[in-house]
Structure 1
Amino acid sequence: MSNQQKMFTLEQIKTAHSKVKSGADFPAYIQNLKKMGVTYYETFVRDGHTDYFGNNNYKVVSPAIYEKLTIVAKSNEKEFRIQLKNHQDGKTDYLTFCMDAANSGIEKWGVCIKKMTCIYFDRLNEKILVEEIPH
């Protein structure tokens, strides 16, 4: 990249993500992404792919990581909060969490690194839950 600043790569993100064993490791992962220049990302529950965004409309898309899941039409915030807490406490692995999210009607989550928030959305792109990320 001649006159353009080099941005993060999918390989760098994969390396940072490989250190995440449970939801308890999430805050450190976010700090690593921030250092790389990621400003926002969205993870899609249906297949686990993620769109990562940086400055100047820079975007990297990860491939799907599991077979497609069906997202239920009606979201269940109460049930999802329980599943999220279990995951953050290290009681479930990532795939289990994604299956739980799909069964609770969660379509995707978006992480705003500047605001240190994670927002969970349903199939209608309505906010179901907004969480502050510990830092």
Structure 2
Amino acid sequence: MFSIEEIKTAESKIKTGADFPRFIKEIKDLGVIRNDVYVANGLSVYFGEEDYSLQASQDEYPALIINNESSAEKLQHALKIHQNGETDYITFCKQAADAGVEKWVIDLNEMTCIYLDTEQKELIKEEISSI
């Protein structure tokens, strides 16, 4: 199974959204099958086979307030500029909070990322490109 050190090493390589597909490949190779990321506090929960899971928090992550009014349009804009490498992770998280994203769920079997609002309604579901 994967360790918190392996996850932290993979996370440390992410500078912008453009690095995301490499990160996904790396954690998938470690055995991660799902990753839930909570925007308000930066908590990430990594799931593996046989109910294995680990929690990791982002270092120096500011507490964020999630907007009660969700906006798929705001989120789409934040995703576009982040995936183009124009913003760092914390900036993207702040923009996601402003767009009403409570968490996102990465399914590494289906290679999708679903962004959910505070009512667990899907704002955007995107396919993760493979490397």
TM-score range, shorter chain: over 0.9
Deviations 1:5-53 (A, max 9, x none): xx10111011011111110110111010111000001000001110000
Shift >6 Å, 4+ stretches: none
Amino-acid identity (%): 43
2:114 maps to 119
1:4 maps to none
Identify which of 88, 96, 103 aligns with 1:93.
88
Any unmatched runs of 5+ in structure 1?
1-6
Identify which of 58, 65, 74 aligns with 1:79.
74
Deviations 1:103-134 (A, max 9, x none): 11000100000100000000011111000000
Q: Please state if 1:39 is matched with 2:70.
A: no
The number of residue pairs the alignment matches comes to: 129
2:54 maps to 60
CA distance in structure 1 between the aligned counterparts of 2:78 and 2:11, rounded to whole angstroms: 21
Deviations 1:55-84 (A, max 9, x none): 000010012531311001010111110111
CA distance in structure 2 between the aligned counterparts of 1:124 and 1:16, rounded to whole angstroms: 30
Letter of the 2:106 partner, please give it.
V
Q: Please state if 1:9 is matched with 2:3.
A: yes
CA distance in structure 2 between the aligned counterparts of 1:67 and 1:89, rounded to whole angstroms: 23
1:90 Cα deviation from its structure 2 partner: 0.6
TM-score, L = length of structure 2: 0.96
Any unmatched runs of 5+ in structure 2?
none
The answer to which structure, 1 or 2, has the higher relative contact order (CA under 8 A, 6+ apart) is: 2
CA distance in structure 2 between the aligned counterparts of 1:94 and 1:79, rounded to whole angstroms: 16
- Which has more radius of gyration? 1
TM-score, L = length of structure 1: 0.93
RMSD over aligned Cα, in angstroms? 0.8
